[in-house]
Amino acid sequence: MSPQPDKEEFLKLIQDNKRIIYKICNAYCHNSNDREDLAQEIIYQLWKSAGSFNDGHKFTTWMYRVALNTAISFYRKENKNNPLVSISEHHTNIEDRNDGAKDIEENINLLQQFINELKELDRALMILYLDEKSCGEIAEILGITETNVATKISRIKEKLKQKFLTINNQ
């Protein structure tokens, strides 16, 4: 059995990197209840796996691995039949903003939706890319080659661009 780390120290590390949990929950869950359930599941799995953390690796690399594995498993079990948040729903959320902020907010929401529509592994790749992880680190987290990472990122970006184009032309 792996030794458990100091509770306070561990929770502080999680707190310092909570944006990772936030981003992953947003990408793999479509409603707030599921997001909270997944966040709890991730924290539980992080605690359970704490003994496997090796000081030789970056904490965020380890955290991403545990959190993404948890999210993908959770998504495959729980969220398959949940509908994605519709574009019209995003529109209603941003009605009160001024035009400039509204455009930005709308684009961010669309991007979130397009990311949520990607396959599980492509979604994980995009979360890591948007967190400005290097190709090497993304490759280490996902278990693929750096060349593969670069190829896939450019393909996904092209796909996103096409989706924005389609929406703008409607």
Residues that bind another protein (CB under 8 A): 7, 11, 14-15, 18-19, 21-22, 25, 32, 35-37, 39-41, 43-45, 47-49, 52-53, 62, 65-66, 68-70, 72-74, 76-78, 80, 104, 107-108, 111-112, 119-122, 124, 130-132, 140-145, 147-148, 151-152, 157, 160-161, 164-165, 168
> What Rg do the C-alpha atoms of the chain give, in angstroms?
17
Q: How far is the CB of 88 from another protein (least distance, A)?
A: 19
Overall size of the chain counted in residues: 170
Instruction: Output 36 or 86, the one with its CB closest to another protein.
Output: 36
Half-sphere exposure of 31 (CA within 13 A, CB side): 8
Instruction: Output 40 or 86, the one with its CB closest to another protein.
Output: 40
139 and 146 in contact (C-beta within 8 Å)? yes
Q: Provide the token pair at 101.
A: 């902020």
The DSSP 8-state label assigned to residue 52 in this structure reads G
Q: How far is the CB of 11 from another protein (least distance, A)?
A: 6
Instruction: Output 73 or 90, the one with its CB closest to another protein.
Output: 73
Q: Which of 78, 75, 77, 7 is nearest to 43 (CA)?
A: 7
Q: How far is the CB of 161 from another protein (least distance, A)?
A: 5
Residues 6+ apart with CB under 8 A from 16: none
